[in-house]
């Protein structure tokens, strides 16, 4: 009985964060109001400030860090089973193209959406997006290094692959086409192939 309130509070907080992730991804940070988040989360408006007394900026940072960790886990789950780093990279971009199409060319990445909006105006959120991108690059670099790509080439390769993916998402959204993502995938696999020993 004593556990019911904390569980309920955690559930409400998680609904708010989840709503923020989805709305920031679709509408952007500046295009999303706190009332919209409360409505989407099915939470009282005041509860947002209960959990996030720093307001929208604090919620935005939580959304960035939470979704960043989730996306890193998805990348790892998709890549780790594959021994062939070149094929795994190509398959990842193919899956990303399919995701973009399934979302009807809405941005699949809330991190990039927020970063584009606030990088020059909000230092707190800029740092959060930068740290998330770094965590993705570090994770991908570790995967490439485990496949035989030496450092610092593994990290440079990971950084290039992430940049290709994020840029391709932007071009794909503008063109309402998966072609830029698939083209970026071919470029990414060429980069990985070029630095793998023995290739």
Report the pLDDT value the prediction gives residue 39, as an integer from 0 to 100.
Answer: 95
Categorise residue 104: left if φ over 0, alpha if ψ from -120 to 50, beta otherwise: left
- Asked whether residue 17 is domain-assigned, the answer is no
Report the pLDDT value the prediction gives residue 109, as an integer from 0 to 100.
Answer: 80
- Asked whether residue 181 is domain-assigned, the answer is yes
- Asked whether residue 131 is domain-assigned, the answer is yes
- Asked whether residue 77 is domain-assigned, the answer is yes
Instruction: Give the CA distances from residue 133 to residues 2, 77, 111, 186, in Å, rounded to whole numbers and listed in that order.
Output: 40, 17, 8, 22
**Between vectors from CA 111 to CA 37 and to CA 24, what angle results, nearest 5°?**
20
The whole-model pTM stands at: 0.85
- Asked whether residue 170 is domain-assigned, the answer is yes
- Asked whether residue 106 is domain-assigned, the answer is yes
Whole-number CA gyration radius for the chain = 19
Q: Which among 52, 190, 155, 172 has a CA at the least distance from the CA of 112?
A: 172
Instruction: Please tell me the distance from the alpha carbon of residue 6 to that of residue 12, in angstroms, as a whole number.
Output: 10
Report the pLDDT value the prediction gives residue 199, as an integer from 0 to 100.
Answer: 61
CB 37 within 8 Å of CB 110:
no
In total, how many domains does the chain have? 1
CB 17 within 8 Å of CB 66:
yes
pLDDT tens for the chain, 199 residues long, are 444 444 477 789 999 999 999 898 888 888 999 999 999 999 999 999 999 999 999 999 999 999 999 989 888 888 878 889 999 999 999 999 999 999 998 877 878 888 888 888 889 999 999 999 999 999 999 999 999 999 999 999 999 999 999 999 999 999 999 999 999 999 999 999 999 987 6
- Asked whether residue 99 is domain-assigned, the answer is yes
The total number of residues written for the chain in this structure: 199
Report the pLDDT value the prediction gives residue 188, as an integer from 0 to 100.
Answer: 98
Provide the CATH number for the domain around residue 174: 1.10.357.10
Look up the domain containing 75 and give its range: 59-195
For residue 168, give the DSSP letter: H
CB 29 within 8 Å of CB 125:
yes
Q: Which among 115, 138, 30 has a CA at the least distance from the CA of 64?
A: 115
**Between vectors from CA 168 to CA 116 and to CA 186, what angle results, nearest 5°?**
150
């Amino acid at each position: 009985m004593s556990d019911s309130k904390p569980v309920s509070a955690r559930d409400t907080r998680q609904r708010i964060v989840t709503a923020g992730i989805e709305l920031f991804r679709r509408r952007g940070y500046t295009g999303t109001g706190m009332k919209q988040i409360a409505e989407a989360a099915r939470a009282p408006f005041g509860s947002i400030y209960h959990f996030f007394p720093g307001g929208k900026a604090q919620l935005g940072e939580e959304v960035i860090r939470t979704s960043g960790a989730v996306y890193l886990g998805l990348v790892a789950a998709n890549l780790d089973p594959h021994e062939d780093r070149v094929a795994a990279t190509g398959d990842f971009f193919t899956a990303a193209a399919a995701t973009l199409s399934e979302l009807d060319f809405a941005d699949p990445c809330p991190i990039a959406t927020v970063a584009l909006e606030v990088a020059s105006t909000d230092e707190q959120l800029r740092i959060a997006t930068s740290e998330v991108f770094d965590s993705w690059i570090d994770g991908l670099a570790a995967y490439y290094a485990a496949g035989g790509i030496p450092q610092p080439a593994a990290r440079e390769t990971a950084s290039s692959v992430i940049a290709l993916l994020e840029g391709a998402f932007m071009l794909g959204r503008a063109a309402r086409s998966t072609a830029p993502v698939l083209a970026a995938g071919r470029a990414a696999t060429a980069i990985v192939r070029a630095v793998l020993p023995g290739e």
